[in-house]
Amino acid sequence: MEIDFEKMNGLVPAIIQDAKTRNVLMFGYMNKEAYEKTLQLHKVTFWSRSRQCLWTKGETSGNFLDLVSIKKDCDSDTLLVRVHPEGPVCHKGTDTCWAEENNYNPIEFLSELQDFIEKRHKEMPEGSYTTALFKKGTNRIAQKFGEESLETVIEATSAKDTDHLVYEAADTVYHLIVLLTDKGLRIEDVAAELLKRHNPDWDKDRRLAKAMGTYHRKA
């Protein structure tokens, strides 16, 4: 990868991002030697402008930044460095240098789950429940989604233990994602539809027609 170290007298800015949460953790500078050492150690290494030396983040605290990937920007003079942090990033003990919490939003896992399900759909490994569903076809997948949805309804209306409701809801969401994958769709397509509906002006003509009693559902 060609990086323009000459534009800023041998240095390039390095934006450090958590590869899982996608939160920006800190900002530093690398020269060519720091960049090469980062690749060699798989631990993020910077050039300290104040001390005029290399420093590997975590060499004193133990809070290393494990390298996942490095990308350069369109001008080849800024780096986006994705990492897995081993602890707090800031020297003040906070998760980021902006004193923000670096928490993973579990809703992001739905995309990761679909990535995994799509891999199952492509590779179809033997012994996998997901593979068995795909082999049985769309009708069976849709049937299982319906069955799990009904079990979720039963838990919602009859059980006092919300843990069981969450368990059945998780089964329902999983089977929905399998069904979407089977039809060539993504869970993001569902989210985009909901986002569209969140707009107050969404489908204004349809709602106006329903209010006036002139709405007819398309076949």
Banded model confidence at residue 9, pLDDT cuts 50, 70, 90: very high
Q: Are 28 and 64 found together in one domain?
A: yes
In a domain, 174, yes or no: yes
3-state secondary structure the chain: CCCCCCCECCEEEEEEEECCCCCEEEEEEECHHHHHHHHHHCECEEEECCCCEEEECCCCCCCCEEEEEEEECCCCCCEEEEEEECCCCCCCCCCCCCCCCCCCCHHHHHHHHHHHHHHHHHHCCCCCHHHHHHHHCHHHHHHHHHHHHHHHHHHHHHCCCHHHHHHHHHHHHHHHHHHHHHCCCCHHHHHHHHHHHHCCCCCHHHHHHHHHCCCCCCC
Tell whether the model's pLDDT for residue 131 goes beyond 80. yes
Tell whether the model's pLDDT for residue 71 goes beyond 90. yes
The mean per-residue pLDDT over the stretch 127-131 comes to 97
Tens digit of each residue's pLDDT (9 = 90 or more) over 149-199: 999 999 999 878 899 999 999 999 999 999 999 999 999 999 999 998 888
Q: Are 26 and 80 found together in one domain?
A: yes
Structural domain including 145 reads 106-185
Into how many domains does the chain fold?
2
pLDDT at site 84? 98
In a domain, 92, yes or no: no
What's the CATH code of the domain at 180? 1.10.287.1080
